[in-house]
């Protein structure tokens, strides 16, 4: 009798486990199916006849009376030209996500010392400065407020996450604001890209593809090419490289910020058009107005 009862209980346990496993698999499959891809994955797919795009480095540099990584600067540039905006995300002493490139405050504000020594409330005592050391009335902005502005104005942000901040923290903040459709996550190597994709497969990623070797690493990874924008570095690559990247349906980004912007300026800005013809889709630049004019990009 006891043996018979034991067999019955064992069968019940096995069936129960099987049902639970089945339920878990169904739940996992349902989660995968309900994860909505960012619209940017389709929007930024390479198309041969697409217009070039300006990516404004640090949200706008070298603009008099408008500091970098400043919400008012984003608004000012966006009112003038169609563009996407690269911004830098850091974290305060009280774990608030803000826009700031440096670890310290001196270069871009009236403050001194490390950002992590201050709470966000304490940072309100300081004003942002432009690249010409002009003090403005603008403050270091909260990331959440920039996300709200981007959503309201349908502006795309490429999000550069500082080393002191976990990628997961920033992605979770974007998800909390339902801002997946206006944010691209910037990564610098294959390890970072894979980590970001594993955490957020619905996001579009900027990935490093400066040469054939890095491109091949990406193509052999588990990251779908549809999730990629290829940052090709701050130097001009060999002829044919950009076209090869595009052959996989991936848009190319060239960092003209720095030396290439200076080179373009010295040649009357014709270089931007030359680089476009080589296969550049997105220009990450410190000269948004000049490059937009050269590429005939208008509101």
Least confident of 26-40, 52-66, 145-159, 213-227: 26-40
| pLDDT at position 107 | 98
Q: Give 128-147 pLDDT, tens digit per residue.
A: 999 999 999 999 999 999 99
Torsion of CA 224, 156, 208, 174, to 10 degrees: -70
Answer whether residue 224 is part of any domain: yes
Does residue 235 lie in a domain region?
yes
Angstrom distance (rounded) from CA 140 to CA 120: 9
Residue 148 resides in a domain: yes
Q: Residue 35: pLDDT band by 50, 70, 90 thresholds?
A: confident
Position with higher pLDDT, 178 vs 299: 178
Q: Is 233 left (phi over 0), alpha (psi -120 to 50) or beta?
A: left
Domains in the chain, number: 1
pTM of the model: 0.88
The confidence score (pLDDT) of residue 18 equals 39
Q: Is 239 inside a domain boundary?
A: yes
**E strands of 75-231, at which residues?**
84-91, 97-99, 157-161, 183-186, 204-208, 228-231
pLDDT over threshold 80, residue 3:
no
* Structural domain contains residue 3: no
SS3 content of the chain, % helix, strand, coil (to 5): 45, 20, 40
Residue at 117 is within a domain: no
**Tens of pLDDT along 144-198?**
999 999 999 999 999 999 999 999 999 999 999 999 999 999 999 999 999 999 9
Mode of pairing for the β-strands spanning 84-91 and 157-161: parallel
Task: Please state, rounded to an integer, the average pLDDT across all residues of the chain.
Answer: 91
Q: Is the pLDDT of residue 60 over 50?
A: yes
Asked if residue 157 belongs to a domain, the reply is: yes
| Residue-wise burial string across 187-216, b where 16 or more C-beta atoms lie within 10 A, e elsewhere | beebebbbebbeebbbbbbbbbbbeeebbe
Q: Over the stretch 211-249, which tens digit does the pLDDT of each residue have?
A: 999 999 999 999 999 999 999 999 999 999 999 999 999
Task: Please give the pLDDT value at position 13.
Answer: 40
What CATH number is associated with residue 65?
3.20.20.190
Residue 16: CB partners within 8 Å, gap ≥ 6? none
Range of the domain at 74: 46-102+144-294
Of 28-42, 236-250, 254-268, 278-292, least confident by mean pLDDT is 28-42
Of all residues in the chain, the percent with pLDDT exceeding 70 is: 89
Does the pLDDT value for residue 290 go beyond 90? yes
User: Is 215 domain-assigned?
Assistant: yes
The answer on pLDDT for 260 being more than 90 is: yes
Give the side-chain half-sphere CA count within 13 A for 109: 24
């Amino acid at each position: 009798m006891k043996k018979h009862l034991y067999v019955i209980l064992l069968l019940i346990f096995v069936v129960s486990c099987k049902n639970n496993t089945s339920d878990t698999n169904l739940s996992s499959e349902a989660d995968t199916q309900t994860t909505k891809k960012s619209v940017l994955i389709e929007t930024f797919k390479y198309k041969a006849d697409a217009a070039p795009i300006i990516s404004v480095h640090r949200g706008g540099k070298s603009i008099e009376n408008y500091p970098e990584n400043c919400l008012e600067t984003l608004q000012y540039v966006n009112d003038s030209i169609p563009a996407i905006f690269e911004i830098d995300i850091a974290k305060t002493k009280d774990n608030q996500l803000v826009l700031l490139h440096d670890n310290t405050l001196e270069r871009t504000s009236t403050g001194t010392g490390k950002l992590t020594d201050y709470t966000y409330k304490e940072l309100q005592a300081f004003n942002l400065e432009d690249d010409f050391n002009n003090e403005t009335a603008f403050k270091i902005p909260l990331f959440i407020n920039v996300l709200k502005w981007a959503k309201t104005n349908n502006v795309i942000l490429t999000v550069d996450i500082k080393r002191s901040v976990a990628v997961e923290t920033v992605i979770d903040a974007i998800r909390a604001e339902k801002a997946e459709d206006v944010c691209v996550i910037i990564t610098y190597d294959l390890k970072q890209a894979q980590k970001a994709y594993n955490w957020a497969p619905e996001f579009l990623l900027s990935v490093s593809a400066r040469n054939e070797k890095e491109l091949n690493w990406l193509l052999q990874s588990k990251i779908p090419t549809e999730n990629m924008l290829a940052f090709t570095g701050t130097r001009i690559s060999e002829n044919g490289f950009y076209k090869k990247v595009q052959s996989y349906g991936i848009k190319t980004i060239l960092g003209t910020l720095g030396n290439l912007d200076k080179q373009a300026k010295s040649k009357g800005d014709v270089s931007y058009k030359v680089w476009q013809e080589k296969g550049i889709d997105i220009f990450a630049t410190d000269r948004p107005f000049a490059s937009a004019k050269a590429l005939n990009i208008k509101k």
